Amino acid sequence: MDNNRILTDFWNLLNITSDYLKTGDKEEHSGLTISTDSLEKIAEEISVCTKCKLCETRNKTVPGSGSVNPALMIIGEAPGADEDKSGLPFVGRAGQYMDKWMDAISLEREKHLFLTNIIKCRPPGNRDPHPDEMAACLPFLQRQINIIKPAIILSVGRISSQVLTGKNEGIGRLRGKVYKYRGASLIPTYHPSGVLRNPEEYRKPVWEDLKQVKVCLDNINLNE
Ligand code: URA
């Protein structure tokens, strides 16, 4: 299947699942609609989710973790082996390396970040997530974003950056710009595992992207 076809299938599936987003998790009170959704509720739903075949091979679901009021939300692709074992995002080598990026801009995991992925279960052998798997899982991420309302999102890697920008381009072309996603400033960058494989090529652009994150953070602090 070529890339355009994959993207078209993905957006078609997304339209089907968007109906799901418009229902549930809300209550009427004297004419006002109040959301009763919560990160805990979403994590519970994810833990018993059977919407795609990844439920057959996962060990633990990985809903995401961190601050409920983060300075920055980081969105990766999918859990790897370490995350599938622990149920926590970005705990393997790539995640530990990403902690160093955050250190460089004075952000701490539990205090300043919420970390999650486009899909919440590990694809076998770390293969790319399939379009139907992403479409089935994306409503969970959108509900998390509705609750957290991040001002800034850092998408790491090609897959999460393509899904959130809606653009079918390589990460080298997507990065270097600030986009909007559900009210947040979205900054795409390389995936930490890619940078670990090829630091000579990717370390410098990642540092540029982190400086952009810092500019956005500083702008928010100035306006508060
Ligand atoms: N890579 C990701 O994209 N996400 C994780 O949680 C771990 C590795």
What does the DSSP assignment read for 74-139? EEES---HHHHHHS-TT-SHHHHHHHHHHHHTT--HHHHEEEEESSSSPPGGGPPPPHHHHHHHHH
Give the side-chain half-sphere CA count within 13 A for 223. Answer: 7
Tens digit of pLDDT at every position of the chain (224 positions): 566 666 666 665 655 455 444 444 666 667 777 789 999 999 999 999 999 999 999 999 999 999 999 999 999 999 999 999 999 999 999 999 999 999 999 999 999 999 999 999 999 999 999 999 999 999 999 999 999 999 999 999 999 999 999 999 999 999 999 999 999 999 999 999 999 999 999 999 999 999 999 999 999 888 87
3 state SS of 89: coil
Residue 185 region, left (φ>0) first, then alpha (ψ -120 to 50), else beta? beta
pLDDT for residue 19: 42
139 CB within 6 A, ligand 1: no
Mutation pick for ligand 1 pocket among 54, 59, 60, 90 (CB with most ligand atoms within 8 Å): 90
pLDDT of residue 32: 75
Q: Ligand 1 pocket: which of 193, 195, 196, 197 to mutate (most atoms <8 Å of CB)? A: 193
Parts of the chain belonging to CATH 3.40.470.10: 38-223
User: What pLDDT shows up at residue 121?
Assistant: 98
Rounded distance, CA 2 to CA 24, Å?
Answer: 36
Q: Report how far Cα 186 is from the mean position of its chain's Cα atoms.
A: 11
pTM of the model: 0.89
Say which amino acid occupies 22: K
Q: What pLDDT is recorded for position 7?
A: 66
**Which CATH number among 2.70.70.10, 3.40.470.10, 3.50.50.60, 3.30.230.80 corresponds to the domain 38-223?**
3.40.470.10
